Structures are given as C-alpha cells and as structure tokens.
A and B are shown apart, each in its own frame.
Chain A
Amino acid sequence: MQHICLYFQVHQPYRLKRYRFFNIGEDNQYFDDFENRMHMQRIANNSYLYTNKLLLDLINKHKNKFKVSFSITGLALEQFQEYAPEVLESFKELAKTGQVEFLAETYSHSLISLYDKDEFKLQVEEHVKAIKKHFGQTPEIFRNTELIYDNLIGETIAEMGFKAMITEGAKHILGWKSPNVLYYNVLKPELKLILKNYKLSDDIAFRFSDKGWDEYPLTAKKYASWISDLDYKNEVVNLFMDYETFGEHQKAETGIFDFLKAFPEEIINNTNFKFATPSEVAKKHEPVASMNVPYAISWADEERDITAWLGNEMQKEAFHKLYALAGKMKFIKRADLQKAWRYLQTSDHFYYMSTKILADGIVHDYFNPFNSPYDAFINYMNVLSDFQIRVNEAYEQLIPEEPEAILSKIKDYEEKIHALYVKLTQPVMIERVKPVLKAIEKEKEEFVAISKTKKVAKALPKQKAKKALPKPKKKTTTKDNLTKIEGIGPKIASILQNAGINTFSKLAKTKASKISEILISVGGNGYKRYNPKTWAKQASLAEKGKWDELKKLQAKLKGGK
C-alpha cells in the first residue's frame, strides 16, 4: 500500500514594532499590533479562509479518501482569536470532518529544542493542551519548529510518548537513501521518522509559479503522473509545506487553487496512492532503517541546517541572551511577562537577523520586515534589554534579601552546635559549654524562624531548604476550607492558599483590593470579574463559627457580590 501524506504548517509570529534605544526602560509595548492585525487579516483573506473552504469541500466530495494534517502554532491560534476568529472557526469545521489531523509542536514556534530539554517538553505540552482545547484532538505526531531534528530531540520526543516525528528528508543525511520510506531514531527505535520529500514539496511551494522552471506550468495531472511513476518501494510520499503557499506565497492568479482543487481527484483516480494522515502513516508502515542525525537539520535553505536562525554571532548572542532569562522566568508568574516571553522566543525573530544572502536571499527577503539583519538585531536587542530589566525587577520582588545568606547562617550555627555537642561529651567541659550552647541555639532559632517565612521559603528551591534544615518540625497549620465562602471556588481557594491566605482569619484581615491584586497577578485579567468585597466579612463570620449568620448573608448575595 502506497500513501501520500499532506501536512501544512500554519504560523504567524507576533512582529516587533520599531523599538529604539530611547524606549528601553520606558516602553513595555513590544509588538506592532497594527502590523500583526494587518498581516493576519490579509493572509486570512488571501489564504486561510479560502483554502479551508476548498479543503472542506474536497473532503466532503471525496468521502474518506482525502485527508490532510496541520500544525498550527500557539501564536497563530492566539492571533486568530484576536484578529480573525472566523479562521479559527473554519479550522474547527475541518476538525469535525474527522479527516484532518493536528500535530504537536512548541507553542511559540521556538528554538528551545536546541537549548533546554525540560523547557522544551513544557512548551510542547502547552501546545498539546491548546490543540486539545480548540480541536478536541490529542496529537500523536510531533513536528518541531522548522522541522529541526537531531538524535537528542528525537529521544526527548520519544520519551514524551509520541509515536512519530516529522522532519526533513535532508540530502546530506539520506545520501542515496529515499525519503519515501520511514526511518527510526537511533537512540529510541520506537520513534518513527516521517520525512519530507523536498523535491515534490518544493515543486508546489516554491517553483509552482516560476516561469523559468522547465516544468512550468505545473498541472495536477502532470504532478499526479510523477507520483504515479513511483514504484512500490516508495511507500509514502510526504508533501510538507507552509499553508500560506496557497494564496499568499503563490497568489490566486497563479492558478494554485485550481491545482489544489484538481489534485485529490487525480491522485485517487490515476495513481495507486491513498491519502493518509501522519498517524495513519506511522501505523501502517514500518521503518526500514535508522537515521543518524548528530547535528541538527531543518527544512530551510540549501543547507537544510539551522544556520538560518543560529548562523551568525548576532543570532547566537540574541539566542543566548534570551535563554539566559529562562531560569528566572520559571519563577515569574506574571501574565504580561509570560506572554512577552512566549512571543520573543519565536524563531522568526532570529531568522530576520540572518546574513545568509546567497541562493536563499530571495526567500529571506520575503519574510523579513527589517531593512537589514543588523537593523533586526538592534531592534530585538533593544526589546530584550527592556524585557531583561522587567524580568530582573519582577524576580527581585520575589526574593527577599539574600535568602541564601540566611540559610548559610543557619548552617554555620548547626556546625557550631554540633561542635559544642561533641565537646559536651567531655564531662569537664559541661559547665562551660552548656550556656554557650543554649545561647547559640536560641540565635539559631531566630534565623530558622526567618527562613520559614513565606517569602524566603518560596524563593528557595525546596530540596535546598530541606538540606539546610535537617529536622524541620512539622507544624500542623490548620487550613480552613475557603470554598465555604460564596464566590470562592477551588481554583481561587488554591490561589489564595499559595499566596499565604489559608485560614478564615487571614482572609478576614485581607483587604478586597489586595485579594483582587493577587488573583489578577496570578491568573491574569480574566480574574477581574471576581469581586471579593464581601469575602472578608464572610470569612470573619466563618472564623467565629457563626455559620447560621453566614448562611443568611450568603442567601442575600449573588456569586459573592
């Protein structure tokens, strides 16, 4: 059985606005809303909406015989919601047909797979969650940003439980081998690799309207005949491309839509190939060999490597300066910073800084909103410098004064105490040592008390705190069930508890404005709709055990307001 697999990449970055040196420290609006809206709406009109409709018609026409797959980045999904909700709806329509598969990738279309394994996993999980939410599917197949792949990335993906991963059929890796069969990861043989047939894919994506190309004009019939000519050894033909190929990169007037319209019928009627989604391909075919990729490959440029994003000093510098903030961002929960953090990671920003100008200059030019890579770099670093300032400030707010110093102080005391106990074993010393020991133990207790305050404990990694405090007495703090308060559900209760408000008495003493602040800072603006005005009063009744009065009060309230 021979299969043909269509997969389209849907991605739009949040483009940065012109951000000058003078903006640093003053302006925290990094993104060009106008430009992003304009781009999204233009592409929605030129490409997404029309192509989605066309695909829907084709799927309905060729019942169960025509299938496609998509990977839609988190940033594209967000921009659909923000600027073109009808596009998201039309993708949902496609999802409902059951003939469309959605793949997993990193939420931000980032290059994190080349930097940090744990963070990489988190970003993939975030994307999986988003796909599930919008389309009701849990992706089984993974595709990385720009089809970037190496042995270690494959290993991580296998560990996450994906069945297969999509990547480039790079010539310098495959050599004489064919991309039209499956391979497997050298470290984790259970991970199948589905490779892009770049010749046939690029015929559509790049060469379709090239009048200098000797196959111009390309018709569906001609294209199907090439596929028909592939013998039984070619188990699967994978055509992977940007979704914007249809209507944006290849404009409607090139005839690209006519091509797409006629394409399924030609394949179904005139070839031995059947359409399949990547997960079906992975189920129905077995890999023929391992593929060893020690250095990362991608689907970009002649070289099919990662030099389009991390080729020059500027790109590497920006990349490392960005991810130097990763450690701090793990602790920072502020919604605005997390959002900017996701948007700044998009690979596109690094692509704009590329100084590769040879064969691929034209493609690079098309995608680049900046005059020059230097321009792009300066702009990105200006933004990043401002972001760095804000991250550091937010991080400093989390950390009280030198928690490390407090802990090391406690350690010092423990060593001293230990030494004193050793001395105590010598009877002659008892008289002299005992009072000293007592004083020092008292001093130590004071520091332990400080270290147990919420702020310090929160700022310190947990194991470290354990190590430093060998026998932490388990204090049985009685927590109250805050959901007894009308207006507080389990989610808000947990937010409040994390913020240290875990008893009725504490809640009774907290101002409504403070509570709002906590909710919004942790949960984002969505929490603005909660009004905690009466919570303190309710809590004070609950604290005193006046449940009847509380019930009476709650009867009068609606949703805690």
Chain B
Amino acid sequence: MKVLMFGWEFPPHISGGLGTASYGLTKSLSAIEDLEILFVVPKLYGDEDEDVAKLIGAEDITVKHYKKTFKNSWEEKVKTLKGDKKSYSKIKKSEILSNLKSIEIIEVKSKLQPYLSIEEFEKFLKENNIFDKNIKIDKEGKLYYEKDGEVKEITFSKSEEETYTEDGKYKFEGGYGPNLLQEVYNYARVASIIAKENDFDLIHGHDWLANAAGIAAKEVSGKPLVIHVHATEYDRGGEERVDTRVFALEKAGMDAADKIITVSNLTKNTIIKYYGADPNKIQTVYNAVEPQEAEKNIYKKNVKEKLVTFLGRITYQKGPAYFVNAAKKVLEKTNDVRFVMAGNGDMFHEMIRYAAELGITDKFHFTDFLKGDEVTKMFSISDVYVMPSVSEPFGISPLEAMRSNVPVIISKQSGVAEVIQNAIKIDYWDEDALADAIYGLVKYNGMAKMFIQKSKKEVDEMKWDKPAREVKKIYDSLVK
C-alpha cells in the first residue's frame, strides 16, 4: 500500500508540535512492512541540488524528489541484530541496508509553513523580501541572510523566534491578506500535479493548510482521503476570533474526507460541535513521543530553589496568566521556588508587565524564545512543568517534560490529559488548585519522586509504534 502524505517539516528543521507529530508518525509508519510513503512537504528553500530537483507541470514549479533512510531506524536495526550475536556475525552492511526501508520525499517550493497565523504569515513574507536579496546557503543547507553587514542564520521557526524584527518597527494590520490563502491554493495546484504523476492508494493530510491539497489530490485520483486534525481554528483563536475563511477550509476538508483522525477526544468533540463533522468518520489517535535518555546530569542548575517552568507560546490559549497568578500565590507561602516563563508570543509583554505589577519578578523569570539546546536545558533543570492551557488539542510538551524526569501539571482542557495517568490535572481556571499542585510538588519530595518514577515509565511506553498501527488499521479499512 502506498500513501501520499501531505506533511510538515523534516529534521533538522523542526520547530513545534505539528512537525514533531507528523514526523514521528511517518517514521513509525514507514517501518510497517507493506506500507510505502510518498511524503510531500512544502519547503521554502531546498538545498537547490539541481540533480534531484526537477520542474513539474507547466507551472514552472520546482520540486525536489528523493529518498530518505531514517538514521534512527538503521541504528535500531543494528541494535536488534547485535542482540542476536550468532546472526550478527554473518550479516553484512549491504544486507542491512537492503533490509531498510526508505521513504520518498517530494519537497515543494512554497512559502507555506506550519503554525501560521494572520500576523505571522505577513511577517514571514516581509522577511522573505530580506531573504530574496541577501540570501546565502552553506554546505549543510543552513540559510543565512545579510543585513547591514551582519550575517544571521535563518531558522524556520522565525515566526516564534522574533516578535521584533531587527529595528523593532514592524506593525501588522489585523486580518488575512490574500497571500496566505493564495499560497494554500498554489500548493493545492502542485498537489494535483503530483497526484497525476504518481501512483498511490490513499491520501493523508495534516492540518488545515494541507486540506486544499488533499482535496485536490482526491479529485484528481479518486483515492480515499484521510485528514488528520492537530488543531482547529477554535483552539487557535478562541471562539470570538475564528476566521471564517480558515473555518471554511477546515470544514471542506472534513466534509471531503473519508476518515478524520483527531489527536484527542477533546478535538473530536470540537469538530463535531463546531464543524458538524460526521462522528462516524472520526477516530482519535493519540500522539506519542520518541524515547530519549533524560539529560538531567548534563546541565547544572545554578539556583538552589526549585524551578517551576512554563514552556510554550505565550498566547491566550496557553493560559499564561493563570500561571502567573498561581506563581504569586505560591510565592506568598514559600520563598524556596522560582518560576520561569519560557517562550514568546502576543501576550509576552503583557505578562512581563503583569508579573512586575504583582511584584514577583525577582522570583519569576522570562527567557524569551528558547532555541534547540536551551529547550533541553530548560527541561533538564526544571523541577515542575506546568501547562495550564485553556484549549490544547493535544500538547506534546508535557510528554517531553516527563521524558526528562520532570513531574507535570496539565489542564484538564488538554488532549494529553486524556492519555496520561501520572500527571496532576487541574482546570485551567482553577488557580488555587494549580498553586496547590505546584506547592505540593515543590515542597513534598516524596510526591515529586513518585511522579518522576511513574511518569518516566509511562512515557517511555508511549512510542509511536502504537499510533502508527492504529493509523494503519484506518488505512486498511479504506483500501480493500
């Protein structure tokens, strides 16, 4: 069976939950015996390797078509073979390689990026103008741009990384410009060409930006369509700020789909309630997390107090204000704790002012956006992780915290709360309960210890194989 997958992001450039999830799932799917994947991914700048890149259709669109073997799966294979010493001695490298599966990847030159919202896309385009003039690419495929004699690396998480541009002057008007939707439809046109030129049995698209592409591919090929809902406009904007055009695209995808995969029952209920999606088509498949050794000992904690961390975008739906209020309550009872709000977002400055107003900023710290290594470091020095989201379709970061031996407190209004047992679950609005839970984990070592042990065990068992098998079953039900 061959699946045409419209996915997002590939290592080394993964900037958030959607990329992590679609990559993790694809990787485990590709390990399943009779499954082949053709992974289509929008990419702003490829390696520009002319040998692999080719133009498709008459549209003068550059795509790059190549095969990729997952490094990790290669290592895993060797590891299992090593366990069986007899056979290991006989095996040649070429044999292992021939046993390995690779996936086909098509990179489409497109400005589409995951997690785009109104302002972010506008900003993205503005930054593109900088790119076009002064863009440079090095051997490793890293991108740099030059401005005023300074060379800076471009990372694909630009939208999260800098709320301020170089001169801090950009201001964005609200409302969608035509650009984002234009890109969505351009991408769909490319998708229909790819669908024409390739053979496959089924289409699987992740999130709304890929919906138009999925629908187009289905129309061209007549093959069944699975759409995978990681978040909805209601989670992103809240009920009052739903953009009707985005809503329309999301709904069109749900209507056209033969099956809908939601990342939690919370999301399932959301799409039934707000989009009128057919409950019979929907199935929940929870996300998982790649196992990884805790890096507790690599980084040293420099402060003697316990660290309580909020890590994520500082936006309304992540509930940052509840975290600040709970911090204030805890600090009234004990001085033996520090709070960290890591990340940025449209409520970043508001939260700084608010914490200052409450007079807790000598114990409540802001880090701004954290880059790759720093996230790992933040997890490894944290003693409690808090995710007080108002609305969180899934929420993969608590799993990452648990993996790093950090006890977590999550809101009941998150998808991840449905699937993990060893976490303290509170209502996001219940600041007293949140403060209580933080105080307990900070003060009662026995309790924290228990959570660390149990949650580590729990999360280590949550590998991507399981959701991959569930997804395969869904495929099987559609392809007969």
| A and B assemble together | yes
Bound Cα distance A371, B367 (Å): 15
User: Does B357 belong to the interface (CB within 8 Å)?
Assistant: yes
Bound Cα distance A317, B361 (Å): 8
Bound Cα distance A371, B302 (Å): 27
User: Does B13 belong to the interface (CB within 8 Å)?
Assistant: no
Given A22-B302, A321-B359, A381-B361; 15 other pairs, CB 8 A cutoff: A21-B365, A22-B374, A25-B304, A26-B302, A312-B356, A313-B357, A314-B353, A314-B356, A318-B361, A371-B168, A372-B349, A374-B352, A377-B352, A377-B356, A377-B361
Selected contact of A320 from candidates B303, B304, B359, B367, CB within 8 Å: B359
Bound Cα distance A375, B368 (Å): 9
8 A-B pairs (CB sep. < 8 Å):
A22-B302, A22-B374, A314-B353, A317-B359, A372-B168, A377-B352, A378-B352, A381-B365
Contact B353 A312, beta carbon cutoff 8 Å: yes
User: Does B50 belong to the interface (CB within 8 Å)?
Assistant: no
- Could you give, for residues 376-391 of chain A, a 1 whenever the CB lies within 8 Å of some chain B CB and a 0 otherwise? 0110011011001100
Set of chain B residues within 8 Å of A23, measured between Cβ atoms: 302
Selected contact of B356 from candidates A22, A313, A371, A385, CB within 8 Å: A313
Selected contact of A321 from candidates B164, B304, B361, CB within 8 Å: B361
User: Does B377 belong to the interface (CB within 8 Å)?
Assistant: yes
What's the least CB distance linking A323 to chain B, in Å?
12
User: Does A342 belong to the interface (CB within 8 Å)?
Assistant: no
User: Does B340 belong to the interface (CB within 8 Å)?
Assistant: yes
Set of chain B residues within 8 Å of A378, measured between Cβ atoms: 352, 365-366, 368
What's the least CB distance linking B415 to chain A, in Å?
29
A324 to chain B: closest residue by CB: B362
User: Does B348 belong to the interface (CB within 8 Å)?
Assistant: yes
A388 to chain B: closest residue by CB: B362
Bound Cα distance A225, B349 (Å): 50
Set of chain A residues within 8 Å of B353, measured between Cβ atoms: 312-314
Set of chain A residues within 8 Å of B300, measured between Cβ atoms: 26
User: Does A53 belong to the interface (CB within 8 Å)?
Assistant: no
Bound Cα distance A379, B335 (Å): 22
Interface size on A, residues (CB 8 A): 27
Q: Which of A476-518 contact B (CB under 8 A)?
A: none
Set of chain A residues within 8 Å of B356, measured between Cβ atoms: 312-314, 316-318, 377
Binding site for B on A (CB under 8 A): 20-26, 312-314, 316-318, 320-321, 371-372, 374-375, 377-378, 381-382, 384-385, 388-389
- Could you give, for residues 343-357 of chain B, a 1 whenever the CB lies within 8 Å of some chain A CB and a 0 otherwise? 000001100110011
What's the least CB distance linking A334 to chain B, in Å?
20
Contact A374 B361, beta carbon cutoff 8 Å: no
Q: Is the interface of A mostly helix, strand, loop or mixed?
A: helix
Contact B362 A385, beta carbon cutoff 8 Å: yes
Set of chain A residues within 8 Å of B377, measured between Cβ atoms: 22
Contact A20 B367, beta carbon cutoff 8 Å: yes
What's the least CB distance linking A38 to chain B, in Å?
17
Set of chain B residues within 8 Å of A317, measured between Cβ atoms: 356-357, 359, 361
Contact B362 A321, beta carbon cutoff 8 Å: yes
- Central interface residue in B302, B340, B357, by most chain A CB within 10 Å: B302
Contact B340 A21, beta carbon cutoff 8 Å: yes
A321 to chain B: closest residue by CB: B362
Bound Cα distance A25, B302 (Å): 5
Contact A21 B359, beta carbon cutoff 8 Å: no
Set of chain A residues within 8 Å of B367, measured between Cβ atoms: 20-22
Set of chain B residues within 8 Å of A372, measured between Cβ atoms: 164, 168, 349
B354 to chain A: closest residue by CB: A313
A375 to chain B: closest residue by CB: B368
What's the least CB distance linking B353 to chain A, in Å?
5
What's the least CB distance linking B338 to chain A, in Å?
8
Bound Cα distance A22, B380 (Å): 12
What's the least CB distance linking A397 to chain B, in Å?
15
What's the least CB distance linking B371 to chain A, in Å?
11
**A381 in contact with B349 given A24-B303, A25-B302, A372-B168 (CB within 8 Å):** no
What's the least CB distance linking A410 to chain B, in Å?
29
Contact B302 A24, beta carbon cutoff 8 Å: yes
Set of chain B residues within 8 Å of A320, measured between Cβ atoms: 359
Set of chain B residues within 8 Å of A385, measured between Cβ atoms: 362-363, 365
- Could you give, for residues 97-125 of chain B, a 1 whenever the CB lies within 8 Å of some chain A CB and a 0 otherwise? 00000000000000000000000000000
Bound Cα distance A377, B300 (Å): 25
A26 to chain B: closest residue by CB: B302
Q: Which of B250-304 contact A (CB under 8 A)?
A: 300-304
Set of chain B residues within 8 Å of A382, measured between Cβ atoms: 365
Bound Cα distance A385, B302 (Å): 12
Set of chain A residues within 8 Å of B359, measured between Cβ atoms: 317, 320-321
What's the least CB distance linking A342 to chain B, in Å?
19
- Central interface residue in A26, A316, A381, by most chain B CB within 10 Å: A381
